[in-house]
Chain A
Amino acid sequence: MKTNFEHSNWKLQILGDHALIFSLEEKMSVEIIEKIIALKKSIQAYHFNFIKELIPSYHTLTLIYDIDLFYQNNITVKDNQSIIQLGNSILNAFETLTSSIDTIYTTDNNNNNSSQVKNVIRIPVCYDVTFGIDLENIVRNNKISIEEIIKIHCEETYLVYCLGFLPGFAYMGKVNPSIQIARHPSPRKEVLAGSVGIAGMQTGIYPMNAPGGWQIIGRTPIKIFDKDPAKLGKLAAGHRIQFYPIAFNEFEKLNEYK
């Protein structure tokens, strides 16, 4: 049985004059990012017109608000509570809700882990050395064969912890320690769109040609970021990803970057 105490680890801080940060313990963990996403969904359900952004990232959820709209809303809906008071009441409501859900959940499904039933997005990657320009680095550095690197990279289901650096760039983890490698000390001038890289315990896909320091192990033919508004959000925090290997000729067939 989970107790309510597990939910009382939230911290709420102001971030300047137009943002709030809700945070949990500062670590990269599946449980924590899932709680962050759950809080995001619960805030979205209020449909507050003054919220401009809700940005999840690892252990934090940042809420960006419009100052004028907040006060207009405040006068009509709430009796003059400050933004921090509003943040606290959001957290209280969330904790009450999630603790009751957990109680039901733990009595109904004793051993099942909720994360195992979630959908996994499968992404094809061509690990040919033409694209995987840093595979040899990992072979040398980690004393491991290319075949093993591919097998290990594809075995894991990765979780998206946040997006940033470039539009559509998802930070995913955790990479198996046997294929972890540090970034290049200085970034390459240009990494090709679709390139799949490793940086420490994280893996990611370059959504567009850009400078970058990640160690590149392959390339996906799939456009993971498209400016078309209808195609935005292929990857978002909380999504689960699994890579699968494809041959060079298959890459050519699927190539969306032509």
Chain B
Amino acid sequence: MAIKIIKNGIADTIQDKGRYGYQHLGIQSNGYLDDQSARLANFILGNPTHSPVFEIHFPASHFCFTSNYIICISGANFVPLLNEKSITNNTAIEVKQNDFLQFLKPLEGRVAYIAIQGKIKEESWLNSHSYFAKRIQKDAAFEWEASASKSYKSFKKDNLLTSEKINEIQSHVFSTSPIQFIPGPAWKDLTEASQKAFLSTEYHIGMQANRMGYALKGAVLELNKPNQYLSAAVTRGTIQLLPNGELIVLMADHQTIGGYANLGQIILVDLPRLAQASNQTSIHFMETTIDTAHKLYQQIEKKFIHRS
């Protein structure tokens, strides 16, 4: 009853919602880069939505199943192949013992999720299976216990019932509308021209993009005067301005505190959209308010409430 890694990917990990309550000890929260797609995959399988999943980057690991499972792939479309035959994202898929899963090419998005119906048998650390230093490696086997309560047929039926929700969530994640942020403590320290440039010009994700943070390429920004900041806690989605004018958006594995200029925070509902942006995606930023952010958040969360 396991999922085996038969070839290494570049940066694949097990992720869940992450751990909270330990950042004052310097312990990062970690967790899904794109929580909406990861939870969607769990949702489709009837798993608790914050269950652990495989988080996959391209080039991806190759997987082999040592028993029968029902799985679901969400997020990026890396053209998944089961025994060399194409399968689709966002639907329950039946896999048999010795089936072989690989990914052909990155068509859309940056990060894909594989949810497995049932429960991982691995031990967690501080209430989470996410850990920043743990990549999945060739020959590793992850014990996973499939729960037998539902047949594959009943999944297919439920899938039809929720297809509207699935489409809404995935089209939000891959929409190209501006990424919304709320200005942070150092926004006022930017020159007026830099504030304008940030709001009106196009950015791209640079080569430095990993689970800790995504570097942005675009207009170089300037502070009114060079400033030293005492380090303070940062959150995922924090937009930091480095002394050389470069921007970095902090992602799931970010350090707990930071001392660079804190220009603002991308709102939670839009963070999965940045997480999925490829190097070619044009990114625009738009200022928003906390009230709007909270309303949008609650709208998305409602979609994850299980069908009765």
Q: How long is the Cα–Cα vector from A31 to B291 in the complex, in angstroms?
A: 35
Chain B 225-264 near chain A by CB (<8 Å), digits 1 or 0: 0000111110101100000000000000001111000101
Q: How long is the Cα–Cα vector from A150 to B26 in the complex, in angstroms?
A: 27
Chain A 215-247 near chain B by CB (<8 Å), digits 1 or 0: 000000000000101001100110000000000
Residues of A within 8 A of B256 (CB): 55, 163-164
Q: How far is the CB of B239 from chain A (nearest CB, A)?
A: 10
Q: Is A60 an interface residue (CB 8 A)?
A: yes
Which residue on B lies nearest to A171, using beta carbons?
Answer: B231
Q: How long is the Cα–Cα vector from A168 to B265 in the complex, in angstroms?
A: 25
Partner of A14, one of B23, B182, B255, B297: B182
Question: Is the CB–CB distance between A64 and B26 below 8 Å?
Answer: no
Residues of A within 8 A of B21 (CB): 52-53
Question: Is the CB–CB distance between A57 and B229 below 8 Å?
Answer: no
Chain B 24-49 near chain A by CB (<8 Å), digits 1 or 0: 11111000000000000000000000
Question: Is the CB–CB distance between A68 and B298 below 8 Å?
Answer: yes
Q: How long is the Cα–Cα vector from A229 to B125 in the complex, in angstroms?
A: 8
Q: Given A16-B264, A16-B265, A165-B255: A58 and B24 within 8 A (CB)?
A: no
Residues of A within 8 A of B27 (CB): 167-168, 232
Residues of B within 8 A of A62 (CB): 232-233, 235
Within A24-55, the residues touching B (CB, 8 Å) are: 26-28, 52-55
Q: Given A71-B298, A167-B27, A236-B25: A58 and B231 within 8 A (CB)?
A: yes
Q: Is A86 an interface residue (CB 8 A)?
A: no
Question: Is the CB–CB distance between A16 and B182 below 8 Å?
Answer: yes
Q: Is A147 an interface residue (CB 8 A)?
A: no
Partner of B26, one of A15, A68, A169: A169
Q: How far is the CB of B113 from chain A (nearest CB, A)?
A: 22
Residues of A within 8 A of B294 (CB): 17, 67, 71
Q: How far is the CB of B297 from chain A (nearest CB, A)?
A: 5
Partner of B232, one of A58, A67, A227, A233: A58
Chain A 147-180 near chain B by CB (<8 Å), digits 1 or 0: 0000000000000001111111111000000000
Which residue on B lies nearest to A16, using beta carbons?
Answer: B265
Q: Is A21 an interface residue (CB 8 A)?
A: yes
Q: How long is the Cα–Cα vector from A170 to B257 in the complex, in angstroms?
A: 11
Question: Is the CB–CB distance between B257 and A55 below 8 Å?
Answer: yes
Which residue on A lies nearest to B185, using beta carbons?
Answer: A13
Question: Is the CB–CB distance between B25 and A53 below 8 Å?
Answer: no
Residues of B within 8 A of A17 (CB): 182, 265, 267-268, 290, 293-294, 297
Q: How long is the Cα–Cα vector from A83 to B293 in the complex, in angstroms?
A: 13
Residues of A within 8 A of B26 (CB): 163-170, 207
Q: How far is the CB of A52 from chain B (nearest CB, A)?
A: 4
Q: Given A17-B182, A57-B257: A167 and B28 within 8 A (CB)?
A: yes
Q: How far is the CB of A11 from chain B (nearest CB, A)?
A: 9
Residues of A within 8 A of B257 (CB): 55, 57, 162-165
Chain B 1-18 near chain A by CB (<8 Å), digits 1 or 0: 000000000000000000
Partner of A168, one of B25, B238, B291: B25
Partner of A15, one of B20, B22, B28, B235: B235
Q: Is B59 an interface residue (CB 8 A)?
A: no
Question: Is the CB–CB distance between A55 and B24 below 8 Å?
Answer: yes
Q: How far is the CB of B181 from chain A (nearest CB, A)?
A: 8
Question: Is the CB–CB distance between B25 and A163 below 8 Å?
Answer: yes
Q: Is B184 an interface residue (CB 8 A)?
A: yes
10 contacts between A and B (CB under 8 A): A16-B184, A16-B293, A19-B233, A26-B229, A53-B21, A53-B24, A64-B23, A164-B255, A167-B22, A233-B25
